[in-house]
Amino acid sequence: MNAHPYRHYWLGLALIFLLLPAAAPAASLGGQAGPLSWKTTPIAQRVTAAETATALKKATAYLGVPADTKPLAQAFVQVADTTPYGSVARTIFYAWRFEIPGVPVSNRQTGKKETVTMNILIDGENRGLVAAFTQKNTTDWTPRAPGMQARDPLQQMASDGWSVESPRTTAVRATVSQILSSLWAATGVNPQHAGQIFMRPRYVVLALPAKREGGRLTPLRRPGTYWVVRVTGTKTLTIAPPPVVPTPSPARQSAAPYMSGLIALFNDSGQSVRGIYLP
């Protein structure tokens, strides 16, 4: 679609807009979540309404909400991914970004239920799920504990034997709703009150757990599609200090240190596999 100067067409355009059905508001001009950042692109002018409708249908299916769910906002954007893939340190691609309310989550351990609003990025080429994430929850945000040093999530995953790559397929069995519910049950992190949750399906090879066969370790879990979920800005673990003798006076006691994040790994059936606490 070629762009044309508007100059003398404002009145005509205004009349047309009044007759058109209301569309979802445009999403914010740019933003960042996890290793992804996005911004507007002039290529969005070439995207058809039918293409957007197809992408939205994919988005609702990935999230696990009714197909007729209306997005609060939508945009076709340029995305930059700073996740390293081999020798490639930064990847640029295009995607639809939808903000969709009413994603159901439940904790099977407690029976509690909530709904959350999720942002979702749908790949502009293969319509695959790039990532889903909540907006930063400034009301409930928990900062990093004093004295705790940040750790690189990628290094922590590698140290625990995770080899994480881009997905080999766009097909996933679990929905975002199911993974969030499993996260809540496994970790106690309520998605409604978490600082921020960022999740994406990945192709993962796990070195652990393993069994020894013929003098070598053989991983017990098969490589395949797993969901990598990162929680930030949330107290995920309180670190109990070692006992002190004699017990210090209350005036000299300081607050117990804590972890304010984690990385959780789930298989494509929504089962918790491994996890790493982060400061």
What pLDDT digit, counting tens, does each position of 18-74 carry? 333 455 776 666 899 999 999 999 999 999 999 999 999 999 999 999 999 999 999
Which residue range is the domain that position 144 belongs to?
A: 23-278
Instruction: Flag whether 112 is in a domain.
Output: yes
Query: Is the residue at 184 inside a domain?
Result: yes
Tokens, residue 164: 């994480």
Number of domains in the chain: 1
16: left (phi over 0), alpha (psi -120 to 50) or beta: alpha
pLDDT of amino acid 278? 97
Rounded Cα gap, residues 243 and 89, in angstroms: 45
Count how many residues are written for the chain: 279
What integer pLDDT is reported at residue 78 of this predicted model? Answer: 98
- Give the containing element (helix H, strand E) for 177: helix 176-187
Please check whether residue 230 lies inside any domain of the structure: yes
Asked whether residue 18 is domain-assigned, the answer is no
| Phi/psi at 132 (5° precision) | -135, 140
Q: Is residue 15 part of a domain?
A: no
CA separation for the pair 231, 239 (Å, rounded): 17
| Whole-structure pTM value | 0.85
C-alpha pair distances (Å), 247 with each of 9, 62, 255, 257, 258: 79, 53, 15, 18, 21
Question: 110 in a domain, yes or no?
Answer: yes
| pLDDT, averaged in runs of 10, over the chain (279 residues) | 37 36 64 97 96 98 98 98 90 98 97 97 97 96 94 94 95 98 97 98 94 87 96 93 61 76 97 96
* CA–CA gap between residue 48 and residue 52 (Å, rounded): 6
Predicted pLDDT at 214: 83
Do the beta carbons of residue 197 and residue 133 sit within 8 Å?
A: yes
Establish if 206 belongs to a structural domain: yes
Contact between 210 and 217 under an 8 Å Cβ cutoff? The reply is yes
Q: Read off the tokens for 166.
A: 């881009």
What pLDDT does residue 24 have?
72
**How many whole angstroms separate alpha carbon 101 and alpha carbon 112?**
18
pLDDT at 1: 42
202 occurs within a structural domain: yes
